[in-house]
Amino acid sequence: MKIVSASEDKNIEKRVAITPEIAKKYVSQGFEVKIQKNYATHLGFDDNLYKEQGVVIEQDTSKIYENGDIVVQLNLPVNENLSQLQENQCLIGVLDPYNNKEKLDELKKKKVNSFSLELLPRITRAQSMDILSSQANLAGYKAVIESFSQFEKAIPMMMTAAGTIPAAKVLIVGAGVAGLQAIATAKRTGAIVFATDVRASSKEQVESLGGKFLTVDGAENLETQGGYAKEASDDFKKKQEELLAETLKKIDVVICTALIPGKKAPVIIKEDMIKNMSPGSIIYDLAAVQGGNTAITEVDKVIEKYGVKILGETNILNRLPTSASNLYAKNIFNFVINLYDKDNKKININHEDEIIDKTLIK
């Protein structure tokens, strides 16, 4: 059973799907592992590190895609490489089925089994494979670090003979995995942290990390059965706007993390709210690539308006590619092992297994 991975376009994606540590685990499970030459040298993982684990290094990309039983990637391969995939192969990655429907339909016609791991069900058994959680954790952490690097004041309260510097006030919009990590990171630096979310269950989680939860009067619980946020009603949005407008006047740093799977990110922070923020404030918008949680976010640009800086990147994890790759590769490995019938040395697409059935593109 051959498991393979080719290099991503490093201008877009610096993470990799197989690290030397995980390659060793695949080999110990009886897999033959093949990767492209210079696959992860940009992360400090030289080809020799892989060779030491029994990995085959291949120069020709087409041979990687044509000969693998299981192809593991970060993103959906480019068209040229997609055409090289064969019947009964398995493609595993973050395939973005909402935006890549036509390409994935073509793969389905070729009888390629495509598994998109952002569709993984939120069940206990799937936690070790949950790429959204592992990657969002790092994104929440890094968004706080990037914001504080732009903020031109001290974060913790400092009492000196010359006077007292007050602690920075941080607001986290959206208390999912990224938001909760952002709260924890900001608290550790000594900031005063507030958070808001449409899901009522988030209040306890926010408070357990030392954050102050902003409650919208008469709030409805906008949580799907799968644990994700769903779109709010117009009445809720109006009440949330009023609460945020007042809160933002006193906030120094905002981390936006609110996303709705498969939809444009909700615009939560309007331009007039930004206008009333203190000059020198920072907004980091983790939802930028899906349209942004602010009215003026632009992807991969630092927008400065009304004295406030708004930042948002296509892929913040390119700033933490080694850590992100280590976690992602482990998630993929756990998924593959669940998919693999070791006794018969074959892939077992068991539709009664919720993990397999939910992630398979049908």
Cα dist from 132 to 116, 177, 360, whole Å = 11, 8, 16
| Residue appearing with tokens 């983790």 | 286
Tell me the one-letter amino acid at 147: S
Query: With contact defined as beta carbons under 8 Å apart, do 223 and 200 qualify?
Result: yes
DSSP 145-177: HHHHHH--S-SS-EEETTEEEPPPEEEEE--SH
- Cα separation of 135 and 322, whole Å? 12
Burial of 162 (0-12, 13-18, 19+ CB in 10 A): exposed
Write down the catalytic residue from 130, 197, 252, 285: 130
Write down the catalytic residue from 86, 150, 228, 278: 228
Write down the catalytic residue from 47, 96, 122, 150: 122
Q: Tell me the two tokens of residue 208.
A: 């357990």
Known catalytic membership, residue 98: no
Write down the catalytic residue from 28, 62, 83, 127: 127
CB atoms inside a 10 Å sphere around CB 152? 8
Known catalytic membership, residue 62: no
Here the contacts of 56-61 (C-beta below 8 Å, separation 24 or greater) are 56/32, 58/4, 58/34, 61/6, 61/7, 61/36
CB atoms inside a 10 Å sphere around CB 181? 24
Question: Greatest CA separation found in the chain?
Answer: 73
Write down the catalytic residue from 36, 53, 89, 133: 133
CA angle 339, 315, 322 (to 5 degrees): 65
Known catalytic membership, residue 89: no
Known catalytic membership, residue 116: no
Known catalytic membership, residue 228: yes
Q: Which residues are catalytic?
A: 122, 127, 130, 133, 228
